Chains A and B, each alone.
Chain A
Amino acid sequence: MSSGKRRGMSMIELTITITVIAIAVLPLLSSIGSTSRTVYSMGKHQLAALVTRSILDRLMLLPYEDCRKKCLELGSEINVIDDEEIKSLISRIDFDQKDYDQMTCRVIVKDAASVEEQELMFIIEVLVSWPVPNSAERRDFSFKTIKYENRI
């Protein structure tokens, strides 16, 4: 045996090692990617919740008739930063403008469940949605409550 020769790692060994590491790391990297996406999605979700709550709170502060009118105005989907009021609202939240990119909102008005209640209240649902990166899919989030007429 050539005991006098300096023996390093054989190419085979190196190849096997790299292959093993690669096999082990790839799912890990994939998992890291998935976790990052989840974290990103959580951030968007939180932001959407904040915007949803802010819009709903603001609508609830309006007098009954004004509230209904505003809700109907916001009935079609708009980008949250396209609406001046919402824009002014979210400018007070500490996020970058780009965080709202393609985030849309709309307000759904549902009449009261009975005829007697229809002049007294309606249901407001504020729905905010945002796109999932690198996907055609969109996520959405909503809060809902009842607006009551104070002048009875």
Chain B
Amino acid sequence: MKQPKAGLIQNKRGSVFLLAIGLLSLLVLLLFGMSRHSSGRSRLVSLADQKQTALFALEACYGDIVSQLRVRIKDKDKPLLNSFINATDGQKPDFYYVPGKTLTSLLAELQIDLVSQELVFEKIEPLKYPPIIKFPAHKQPEKKGLMKISCEVSFLNRSYSIDVKVPFKTVFTLTPVLRQFTFFADQIHLEQREHYGLSDKINIVPIRKGANDETTSGSSSDQRLPLCLGMSIKPHDQINTDNEKEGYVYLGKSDQNIILNLAGEVQPGEGDLSDLWQVTPESFKPIDISDKQIVNMTVNTTAGSLQNKTLSIPLKTRNTRANLRLVGFCKELEDQNGPWNKDLKYVLEQDSSFGRYKLNHESLGLSSSLKLLGPSFEAGAVSAKVPYPRNVRNIFGRVFNRFFVLGMFDFPSAHLYTKLLYTTSPSYTPPDGASSFGEKYPFEIESGSYKNYMSRTMSGEPDGKDFDHQNIPANLDKDNNPKIYTFADFEGTDGIKLSEPLDKFAGQWIYDLHNSQLKSDLNKVESSVIGRITRVYRNQEEFKLAAGIDKGKFLVDGVVAIDGNLTLEDLPVTTEIRGGIVLVNGKISLGSILRGFEPPAVPPVQLMLTSGFRDYLKNIEADSILTFISLTGEQITLTNHVQIGVHLISLRQMEAPETMLTYSEPGKVILAGAIAVSTANLEQLTKKFRDELPLFCFPPEMATGEPPMAVVIADSLEGYKYVVR
């Protein structure tokens, strides 16, 4: 029995050792497990860190590529810009990449090698145009697309690569069609509900001696001067044949007549606002006007003899002439004792157009508040011997010039002067003239009919034929014949043509950012200015920061949108201005934009007579023009008086004229650029010009045949792929 007991004890002794060995084994296993777990986790952590380090390095790589592209775009690297403008799918930009020094040093520090990089265009699409625009097939349209950038690096024997797709757009930085108009008012007909009397808010500037009549207004605050669109041609030199360089004018709506009273004078060249120099012999078709001129002649009136502009036409009977004397709107006409009054009253007794002035006699002294061809070339410093400017600015719309013709049948050698009365009778013949010797001198004309020679109100009844014996369009065609220009006559210097009237343009091009139609109709987005937007700012502060105003710059580049109002103080920037289109979803207020220009002490309109200013104007580059568009069609306020190189646009449908453009206070107004407003509200605006005749002039480069195009690389990405091999 003892032996088994000893065996039991032996077994017990073995159990302790076994237990100890088991315990040790467990501990070893636990340690091994923990060690493996720890080292596995350590490897994973290390890999994750490497992966993230490589990713940041790759992002720095494609950032460096984009940064270099942007620098070269800014530096106007033509081959690169053209490769974007002409981009097609699969094509590569004209760009040789060398990693920047900063990137190189970063990669060296991280011990990462840049293995390769590649850039390829993808998904290139032309931007659409609205139905009104017929974009020429041979021109490169605006585009959008993606630029795929692939970069590969090697880091700790692993390969890492990234593919990003960066959106870009190529967009014009001037507004198509509108850029060619120095003044575009698509609903200015609302300011002329009637063509006579108190409802006529276009012909509102009082004229005396061919100039502004300061004595008419009761107080200085009632004084007004017309909106004056200067011209860059040299009056003494050859006449400009490049009409587009002067900027076009459009007064709409396209189916409404706009009548402009030409300011008159008693002596030729008497004042800077007299307009009769605009009337050419061609206006008097169907009279044979070959080799005829309008000249300054002496005329006998009831008030005595005086000088005025006359088209003198020889008649069949020897030494007899028909002299058509031009009389414009001025206080001298309104004056009961003025030189023209009694004569005109007599000869126009039957003219219903003239008869309407009896109802509001004072309007005989009011001329147009729009000077579409600038101030008189004959006035002031300019010689009276000025050739008549021909075909100098294309005026679109049914715009007519209104003035009076005092028709005379003259036989000067016999001192016979017979007034040619207005008549509606087709068979009327004026009485023969008779000399003191009893000889008769019949009124026998070479061409046309009596009504072409008689006294009449020109453009008094424009509802009739567009161009007949009494309706004179303000526009001249390329052959200097008066002609109404419609959308069909528009051909942009860039080849754009129009398929609808000009007053339809704004409705198809400009939309409120929050317009509900845009959400439901993607086509409206893509074919309008909204589809051209390259950057959107939530407010004006963001925009100003991005434009670099705080750094003395103003960089727009492309088409940017601000969701709200824009108020810019005087812009002190002189050189670092990069143009573009600023879409403002609200009101716009601008201070001066001088670009280093120093406003002269002389009256602004005299600037157009100086070659220095004309040259300055010609040197304003198209890609530096700043276009401000109120998408909501709200007021544009100019808080200071000089803006150089700006295009101001605020267009929207309205029922009554509204103040779309205003100056916060009167002053010497100079605007080198263009204006497009639905209504100018001339009644209000012209009061702001009471101190000096303003100057609105057109930088010829705005009408360039190659409108500037911006290449804008977006800040965002549309594709991102990161691969670890």
B536 to chain A, nearest CB (A): 14
Asked if A77 CB lies within 8 Å of chain B CBs, one says no
Contact A21 B548 (CB under 8 A): no
Q: Which of B56-64, B135-143, B424-432, B682-690 forms part of the interface with chain A?
A: B56-64
Q: How far is the CA of A114 from the CA of B24 in the complex (A)?
A: 63
Contact A151 B555 (CB under 8 A): yes
B364 to chain A, nearest CB (A): 58
Contact A8 B53 (CB under 8 A): no
Contact A35 B42 (CB under 8 A): no
Asked if B28 CB lies within 8 Å of chain A CBs, one says yes
B703 to chain A, nearest CB (A): 29
Instruction: Known contacts A63-B545, A65-B545, A143-B52; decide if A42 and B38 are in contact (CB<8 Å).
Output: yes
Asked if B656 CB lies within 8 Å of chain A CBs, one says no
Contact A114 B101 (CB under 8 A): yes
A85 to chain B, nearest CB (A): 20
Contact B70 A152 (CB under 8 A): yes
Q: Which of B4-12, B488-496, B604-612 forms part of the interface with chain A?
A: B4-12
Interface size range of chain A in the complex:
35 or more
What 4 A-B pairs come out closest when comparing CB atoms? A145-B56, A113-B101, A146-B60, A35-B34
Contact A117 B101 (CB under 8 A): yes
Contact B12 A8 (CB under 8 A): yes
Contact B57 A145 (CB under 8 A): yes
Q: A143 to chain B: which residues have CB within 8 Å?
A: 52-53, 56
Asked if A6 CB lies within 8 Å of chain B CBs, one says yes
- Contact check: which of B12, B45, B103 meets A45 at CB < 8 Å? B45
Nearest-CB residue, chain A, relative to B547: A151
Beyond A17-B17, A42-B38, 14 additional contacts (C-beta under 8 Å) are A9-B13, A21-B20, A32-B31, A35-B37, A38-B42, A39-B38, A42-B41, A45-B45, A46-B45, A65-B545, A120-B71, A121-B102, A144-B109, A146-B64
- Interface 0/1 of A1-39, CB less than 8 Å to B: 001101111000100010011001100110110011011
Q: B28 to chain A: which residues have CB within 8 Å?
A: 28
Asked if B386 CB lies within 8 Å of chain A CBs, one says no
List 25 A–B pairs whose Cβ atoms lie within 8 Å, in order of A's numbering. Answer: A3-B2, A20-B20, A24-B27, A25-B24, A35-B35, A36-B34, A39-B37, A39-B41, A42-B45, A45-B45, A46-B48, A49-B49, A53-B52, A113-B105, A117-B100, A121-B100, A121-B102, A123-B102, A144-B109, A145-B57, A146-B64, A146-B106, A150-B70, A152-B67, A152-B70
Contact B17 A152 (CB under 8 A): no
Contact B548 A151 (CB under 8 A): yes
Contact B42 A117 (CB under 8 A): no
- Interface 0/1 of B62-85, CB less than 8 Å to A: 011011001101100000000000
Asked if A100 CB lies within 8 Å of chain B CBs, one says no
Q: How far is the CA of A53 from the CA of B23 in the complex (A)?
A: 44
Contact B24 A24 (CB under 8 A): yes
B215 to chain A, nearest CB (A): 55
Contact B103 A146 (CB under 8 A): yes
Contact B102 A112 (CB under 8 A): yes
Asked if A140 CB lies within 8 Å of chain B CBs, one says no
